[in-house]
């Protein structure tokens, strides 16, 4: 069975979501279904059908999270050998060599990737290009719009 890499904070987020779905969303939906049933004919009851649809979504998400939690490989970046290389979990400060702009990314698992928060999937083209390189190295990222050259300015194990 293949493991899913995730940071400590990413695993906590999934666990919190699972608890919220089980302890808050599931009971609320059951209550919504019971209330909708009281309104009569279920065939034409939009509230009932919407609640059942939401229930199916939540139950599916619960199963998905439970499956992922059983396969997680939680990586605490603070416990890694801090030798300056870009590895899973590190935060990397990059200099775009074509326009001298700087950007900071953290390399994370697919489930916690969020480009707006500077978290990129370990399977993204940028992360794959960075992995194994260290401060001062130049890397070329094969992006859909063409190759982008970066210099690694800093690697942090936060």
**Tens of pLDDT along 83-136?**
889 999 999 999 999 899 999 999 999 989 999 999 999 999 999 999 999 999
Q: How far is CA 59 from CA 26, 99, 157, in A?
A: 8, 47, 36
Structure confidence by residue, pLDDT tens digits, 30-41: 999 999 888 777
Number of domains in the chain: 2
Instruction: Say yes or no: 67 and 109 in one domain.
Output: no
Q: Domain containing 41: what range?
A: 4-75
pTM (predicted TM-score):
0.81
| Residue 1: pLDDT over 70 | no
**Do 9 and 64 reside in the same domain of the chain?**
yes
**Token pair 């992360």 in the structure block, residue:** 127
Distance CA 107, CA 117 (A): 11
């Amino acid at each position: 069975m293949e493991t899913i890499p995730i940071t400590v904070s990413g695993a906590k987020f999934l666990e919190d979501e699972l608890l919220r779905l089980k302890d808050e969303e599931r009971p609320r939906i059951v209550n919504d279904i019971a209330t909708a049933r009281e309104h009569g004919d279920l065939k034409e009851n939009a509230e009932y059908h919407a609640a059942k649809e939401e229930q199916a979504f939540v139950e599916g998400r619960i199963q998905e999270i439970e499956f992922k939690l059983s396969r997680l490989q939680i990586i605490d970046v603070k416990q890694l050998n801090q030798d300056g290389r870009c590895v899973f979990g590190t935060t990397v400060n990059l200099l775009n060599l074509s326009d001298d702009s700087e950007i900071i990314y953290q390399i994370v698992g697919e489930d916690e990737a969020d480009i707006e928060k500077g978290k990129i999937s370990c399977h993204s083209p940028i992360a794959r290009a960075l992995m194994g390189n260290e401060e001062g190295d130049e890397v070329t990222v094969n992006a859909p719009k063409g190759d982008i050259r970066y210099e690694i300015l800093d690697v942090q194990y936060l």
